[in-house]
Amino acid sequence: MRLLFVCVGNTCRSQMAEAVAKHMGHEAQSAGTNPGPAVAQDAIKVTGEIGIEMSGQYPKSIDDIVITGFDWIVSMGCGVECPTLPMDDDWGLEDPVGRGEAFYRKTLEEIKQRLLTLD
């Protein structure tokens, strides 16, 4: 399955979703409407704790992604509105920025559970 995860900053939720989806064997990308400077260190740490590496991932603008050909386009729940982007779902996940590693772990677990329903 070819998946695209979209949020505002593309530093946490969408990056974790991309990494987990790839680990599960999907083709995945992530992007943001206003990408931040780097992937959040807590996101890298908690995905690494479960054996999923995020090396090579970096925040990207939705403007830099060719959006055709995706099987599923998901908003992570941050009010992303892209008039030209046909969202298939909004996962409604709270932003973990500044909320500590435990919240990142909780968010990662929610992402994993939602991805399991796509298989």
Number of domains in the chain: 1
For position 40, what pLDDT does the model report?
95
Q: Quick: pLDDT tens for 48-62.
A: 999 999 988 999 999
Residue 113 CA, chain-centre distance (Å), reads 13
Q: ∠ CA 86-2-33 to the nearest 5 degrees?
A: 45
The closest of 57, 65, 67 to 36, measured between CA atoms, is: 57
CATH number at residue 9: 3.40.50.2300
Q: Quick: pLDDT tens for 64-78.
A: 888 889 999 999 986
For position 106, what pLDDT does the model report?
97
Residues labelled catalytic: 7, 78, 82
Average pLDDT of the chain is: 91
Q: Helices (H) and strands (E) in the chain — how many of each?
A: 3, 4
Per DSSP (E only), the strands in 47-116 are 72-75, 89-90
Q: Quick: pLDDT tens for 21-42.
A: 999 999 999 999 889 999 999 9
Domain interval for residue 80: 2-116
pTM equals: 0.92
